[in-house]
Structure 1
Amino acid sequence: MARSRKSFFCGSAEHDMSRRNFLGSSVAAAGIGSSVGAFRSDLMAEQLKKNDKRVILLWLAGGASQMETWDPKEGVETSGPFRKIQTSTPGVAISELLPKMAGRLKDTAIIRSLNTAIGDHGNAAKLMHLGRQNEPNLSYPDMGSVLARELGRLDSSVPDYVTFYTATEGRGNAVGRPGFLGSRYAPMFLTNGNSPDNISRLESV
């Protein structure tokens, strides 16, 4: 004896689906999706192992201006005393204070259009580190924690996120904040008081 079928509300038998059929289809789809997701995650993890990437952020709070480094304005009244020099990227010049960098610029991207439109240094620093302004009821992660979440490896023998600098001056208390990602993606703070090598000011500056 044939089973009776209840028609979908549009009246089409093609759209007919019982609750049991719906749940069965959903569970099957979820199982397939989970398997595919796990497979993709394994592939991505393997690829990341082959092409490990590192991000080094040098935060120069109160450092040299862009006109003395990456965007010289030679020939104008406010240009300052330094000349611009050509680089390994045709048509792109930087300050003469960066001669070694000029030779490596073909592997470098300079962003000259960035503008926070915020006059306060602390709040502008927060925006740079967090990618958004603070919200009273939500703590956002800084860029280091985000990168640790996206590119970090559970099987790594070294921390995913390390910072040598715990002071918050010029950074708006934004550094080292995992925010809603949790402590798993917080940085390891190296706080022995010694500065890293080769970051002192050049004698010529």
Structure 2
Amino acid sequence: MFSTLVTIAGVHIIALASPGPDTFIVMQTAASKSRKEAMMCVVGITVGVAAWAAVSLLGLQWLFDQFAWLHKTIMLMGGIYLGWMGFKIMKSSLKASTSATADSSLGTQEAKSKPFLTGLFTNLANAKALVYFSSVFALFIRPDMEWTQSFPIFLLVITETFLWFSFVGLLIGLPKPKRIYRSAGKWIDGACGAIFGVFGGGLIYSALKE
């Protein structure tokens, strides 16, 4: 069991470190807002990963085998969401800095929960997460696996996810990266929005092609 956990830990950190929507949204939030908001985004991503891991342990691949349309629907909805996120980020990059300052002063509960929801929905819409948990991660799951074996895997995955993205958020939230963002934030946001658009468009194309 220990060797299985070590293998999963290695595979999962490689999956986390590869660039994707989750990484870009944490970096963008940490650079443009505060570390606290970046951490709320990280918590949202971690909850999303927990949901993917739980469903995978319960039989995600079996579910897709039984209901082929479900996989296509999830990909299509995820693509639409990522495309919409890309549009919002690119649109915000065109706003004046004074507008951004006014937005950052909002102290409502809705404003406080926004980074969490953004992280959560970005992860749930992430094609990389869908493919990873339905194929690569599923290779380590046996149908006869007991909860005493599956629960440590579940804990490992969500802990590793939280620690990795916390590291990314705290690193990008340092003064120097934030200064770079203040001087080139418009272009960084534009690039981030374009990347989200590419991810979303690719996901929609793949869903319609199936």
Q: TM-score range by the shorter chain?
A: under 0.3
Which structure has more strand as a fraction of its residues?
1
TM-score, normalised by the number of residues in structure 2: 0.24
Which structure ranks higher in relative contact order (CA pairs < 8 Å, sequence separation ≥ 6)?
Answer: 2
TM-score, normalised by the number of residues in structure 1: 0.24
